[in-house]
Structure 1
Amino acid sequence: MSEKVAESDGRDAMGKGMAVGLAVGVAIGVAMDDLAIGIAVGLALGPAFGAGWPKRE
Structure 2
Amino acid sequence: MVVCAHSQGSLITFAALNLLTDEEIKRVGLVTFGSQLRVIFPRSHADLAAGVRALEAARV
Shared fold (TM-score, shorter chain, > 0.5) = no
TM-score (norm 1): 0.28
**More strand by percentage:** 2
Q: Which of structures 1 and 2 has the bigger CA Rg?
A: 1
Higher helix content, 1 or 2: 1
